Amino acid sequence: MEIAIKKVAERDGDERFVLVNPTTREVLTVHDVSASTLRRFFQQRGASEALFDECIERARASYQDRSQHAAAAVSEASDTIEDDELLFDLGLGDNDADVH
């Protein structure tokens, strides 16, 4: 079975990861865990340090890309529609008495 490492959060400076099936995207772990816990898990099963490091870096890069993309989408939306334009589009504005 193929397994992928996915970074899911950062809490108090501690990165948290889960294991997923890359085909189905099913989460295989019950709880999120630290990188050091995953490292011990894979070392016990004979995985090389280099392979583990590569997988962790890939998970971190993917998490960073998702975080930047989500943040960009919010800021782009806020730059394109002014509050009063949004109110006007909703049928609200300076003359709310005209709205039925």
Q: Would you say residue 25 has pLDDT above 70? A: yes
Q: Scan for tokens 């959060």, then name that residue.
A: 9
* Mean pLDDT, all residues of the chain: 80
Q: Would you say residue 32 has pLDDT above 90? A: yes
The Cα 50–Cα 45 span in angstroms is: 14
Average pLDDT over residues 57-74: 80
Helical segments of the chain, H only: 35-44, 49-80, 83-89
Sign of the C-alpha dihedral computed for residues 9, 12, 13 and 15 taken in this order: negative
Per-residue model confidence (pLDDT) at position 31:
92
- Number of other CB atoms surrounding residue 23 within 10 Å: 9
